[in-house]
Structure 1
Amino acid sequence: MKILNYVVRTPTGIHARNAFLLSKIAVRFQSEIQIQKGERAENVKNVMSIMSLHVRFKDSISIIISGSDEEEACKALTVFCEANL
């Protein structure tokens, strides 16, 4: 299991475009990938699930990756978060 902890730096938080791009990366991997804000966790492979978390500027999130390709998924998602969130 890999856990990526991140504080959202974009003033708009995670909006529809970023949620779509995040899920587009996640579906490339077989691993189970969850995004967590507070006590609530949702499937990253589903755009509406990401949007339902209402992630805002300076919110802390965790992306939890578990599966056979978790290392590669973690690298790809880290690059995405650093560039887009």
Structure 2
Amino acid sequence: MLEFSHVLLGPEGLHARPVTCICSEAHLWKSSITVTLGGLSVNATDLMGLMGLMAKCGDELIVTVNGPDEEACCEAMRSVFDF
């Protein structure tokens, strides 16, 4: 299991465009990818779940990757979160 944190810097927070990119990338991997904000965790392939986090500028997201391709997946997800 690998994890990284990402602080949202964009004034719009986690909105439709980055959520779509996150979901699209997450569907490419065998690993399970979870995004957590506060006490709420959602699967990174769940577009509505990610939108439901209502993450705003300054919020810290924790991304957890667990599975057979977790190292490559984690690196790919890091790059997707740099929006």
TM-score by length of 1: 0.94
Shift of 1:16: 0.9
CA distance in 2, matches of 1:79, 1:20: 14
CA distance in 2, matches of 1:21, 1:81: 9
Unaligned stretches of 5+ residues in structure 2: none
What is the match of residue 47 of structure 2?
47
4+ aligned runs moved over 3 Å, structure 1: none
CA distance in 2, matches of 1:41, 1:33: 10
What is the match of residue 20 of structure 2?
20
Q: How many residues align?
A: 83
Shift of 1:17: 1.1
CA distance in 2, matches of 1:42, 1:13: 17
TM-score by length of 2: 0.96
Cα-to-partner distance string for 1:23-71 (whole Å, 9 max, x where unaligned): 1001000111110000110010111010010010000110010000110
Whichever residue aligns with residue 11 of structure 1, its letter is P
Quote the RMSD (CA, aligned, Å).
0.7
